[in-house]
Structure 1
Amino acid sequence: MRTPAQNFLTRNEQDRLIRCVQDVEAKTSGEIVPVIASISYDYPLAAHLGGLLLGILFAMGLSLLLGRDDMWVYLALFLPFYVIFNRLFMRYPRLKRPFISRAEMREEVEEAAITAFHGNGLHRTRDMTGIILYVSVYERMVQVLADKGINDKVNPEVWQEVVEMVTDGIRTGSPGQALCKGVERCGELITHHFPVKHDDTDELPNLVVEGEPR
């Protein structure tokens, strides 16, 4: 079964994005890696809150329907309802969204992007010139991080422009085109400081989808 990350871009869009990365990297010693993740965190608290709320409501409703107001009867009904709904929320992450704040999602996406940055070796490039363009499908959020070599020359605040560019494209239903534009903009921001070298090599994958490099 394909994951949301694997369904995020069509095969043609993936191939086009890879070519876009290759074209940009032909002009710069920077390494740009788009990473598509299905979800940045499993949000267990949201599943707990959802199970708790629905467990209470269903237990109360069934207690009233049975004409029983005994606390022990209510608890006996609440516990199985809680377990059922908790597992339902864990199985279908989409149900958790009403119980997750934007601030929490933003924090988890930032943390997951940092983990992906290191997990995919962007901190190990020769000149510390790795850039990750991280997309988390569930949260519908984008994060851009650059290594120290780039941040010493380029103001890290400029990456927000790339984030907004890609986010807007995803929102309007053009994720592949938006990611290509984001990669090209990253290239424009770093090429002046980090032009391609005569012995430059492609050190990292040009696209990572749910842990699968391409």
Structure 2
Amino acid sequence: MTRLTAQTIFNDAEKQLIEAAVRDAENRTSGEIVPLVVDESYDYPQAELVGAGFFALATAVTLSWAFGGSSVWVFLPLFLLAFFPFRCLLRHLPELKRRLIHPTEIAAEVEEKALVSFIEQGLHHTRDETGILILVSLFEHRVFVLADRGINNRVPKETWDEIVHIVTEGIRSSRTCEALCVAIGRCGDLLQTHFPKKVDDTDELPNLILG
């Protein structure tokens, strides 16, 4: 099965649907909505080291006991020979690698990626401080919504849990594009009351970022 990446998760037609959903939502409000899809929020090198070390240790102990009389001089070369292939294997088996990472660490890294991306993409520079980032991080299977302070001053943070749920459930049921479009529309609904569109509004940010 081909692994989905940020560049391949949507076909051209789906990209157009998402961009159209953003335009439609932004036509009803002064807010700026940016969906961002990334392969991963962090590369988690510690998970690779710990996982490779564990599997290499188990392999070396078993083989040295079976064929080397439990000699440390047999164990050490076997451990070193097994370590690097296992580390490479973990890089290509994201499902296994993810199981070696504590959920708390994953949540923290996704949140940090959202904060950094918010700044990098210039969402903090919108005129009325009404930027919204919808981050989809594929490796972690996580969605994080981050809104600028102009919005958070009026919309409770708990409101974004609904958006996260919509996108997360869509990903689980292989309806990522549809779910993202629904979530974008819901953001437009939430913002329309507090931040109606102004006569001189302009589209300040990209409507879809795949990075």
TM > 0.5 fold call = yes
**Per-residue deviation, 1:92:** 4.5
Identify the range of structure 1 (113-122 vs 81-90) with the bigger mean alpha-carbon deviation: 81-90
Q: Name the amino acid aligned to 2:207.
A: N
Mapped partners of 2:135, 2:171: distance in 1: 13
Q: Which stretches in structure 1 are left out of the alignment for 5+ residues?
A: none
Are 1:109 and 1:143, in contact at CA under 8 Å, matched by a contact in 2? yes
**Per-residue deviation, 1:160:** 0.6
The 5 A counterparts of 1:177-192 are 177-192=178-193
Are 1:44 and 1:90, in contact at CA under 8 Å, matched by a contact in 2? no
**Per-residue deviation, 1:113:** 0.9
Q: What's the CA shift string for 1:135-173, capped at 9, x where partnerless?
A: 001111100010011111111110011101111111111
Partner of 2:27: 26
Q: Which stretches in structure 2 are left out of the alignment for 5+ residues?
A: none
Identity %: 45
Mapped partners of 2:29, 2:86: distance in 1: 51
Runs of 4+ in 1 over 4 A off after TM superposition: none
Partner of 1:37: 38
**Per-residue deviation, 1:190:** 1.0
Q: Name the amino acid aligned to 2:57.
A: I
Q: What's the CA shift string for 1:52-83, capped at 9, x where partnerless?
A: 11111111122133232112321121122112
TM-score by length of 2: 0.94
Are 2:123 and 2:148, in contact at CA under 8 Å, matched by a contact in 1? yes
The 5 A counterparts of 1:99-138 are 99-138=100-139
Q: What's the CA shift string for 1:93-150, capped at 9, x where partnerless?
A: 4431221122221111111111111111100101100000110011111000100111
Are 2:114 and 2:135, in contact at CA under 8 Å, matched by a contact in 1? yes
Mapped partners of 1:126, 1:120: distance in 2: 14
Partner of 1:175: 176
Are 2:65 and 2:71, in contact at CA under 8 Å, matched by a contact in 1? no
Mapped partners of 1:88, 1:162: distance in 2: 35
Identify the range of structure 1 (118-127 vs 2-11) with the bigger mean alpha-carbon deviation: 2-11
Question: SS state of the match for residue 156, structure 1?
Answer: coil
Are 1:54 and 1:85, in contact at CA under 8 Å, matched by a contact in 2? yes
Question: SS state of the match for residue 60, structure 1?
Answer: helix
Are 2:55 and 2:83, in contact at CA under 8 Å, matched by a contact in 1? yes
**Per-residue deviation, 1:86:** 1.9
Mapped partners of 1:195, 1:90: distance in 2: 46
Are 2:68 and 2:74, in contact at CA under 8 Å, matched by a contact in 1? no
Are 2:31 and 2:132, in contact at CA under 8 Å, matched by a contact in 1? yes
**What is the RMSD of the two structures over their aligned residues, measured on CA atoms?**
1.7
